[in-house]
Amino acid sequence: NYVLNSAKGPEGDITSLLRHQDRNERFSLADENNLKSKEEIILTFSDVKKNQNLGLQITFRQTLMTTYFIYSALDYAGGKVSDYIALLESDPELLNMLHGGIAKELGKVDIYVWDETSEEWLFQDGFYETGPIALNHQILPLHLNQYSDSVKIKIVLNKGLWRLDHIGLTNIIKKV
């Protein structure tokens, strides 16, 4: 495992919040004017000995933002909430239109790796998990185009939606 050297978010240095899995989570408040607004976190891992089969480890969970949306929708529906739910259950086309609704609108925790050769951020994939209670532990294989003893990663995420506890870098040995 490689130690996180530096983590910078909109609020400044957040390295101490992300270096250890200690439930001392990094989170932000939602944007009061746009609940879909994004923010970026830049990570640097140094002294990387082996760039092959690198994986980004993350321990995270959602805030209560999605819970707020669900309960607000039920509130807006009022006394007709059961009618709307029955309509969703009986109309596959309508249900299909709403498939992935909140996740699609708010987005994942998107991961990018800095490529020195092309001097651009290369999208890798994203993390997503529903629920604010349990911590999720996931790993994302990274695809690097060049060798470097320093790996720079950009995380793009919805403001106010995610609580990040730990981010690490490791070599993936095998799938279990």
Phi, psi of 85 (to 5 degrees): -65, -40
Structure-token pair, residue 112:
């990018």
Give Cα separations from 45 to 5, 20, 151 (angstroms).
5, 14, 5
Q: Which of residues 76 and 18 earns the better pLDDT score?
A: 18
Q: What pLDDT score was predicted for residue 103?
A: 78
Q: What's the whole-model pTM score?
A: 0.87
pLDDT digits 0-9 by tens, 116-161: 889 999 999 999 888 778 899 999 999 987 777 899 999 999 999 9
Per DSSP, helices labelled H in the chain are 15-18, 65-77, 81-90, 92-97, 101-106
Q: What pLDDT score was predicted for residue 105?
A: 80
Rounded mean pLDDT, 44-48 = 91
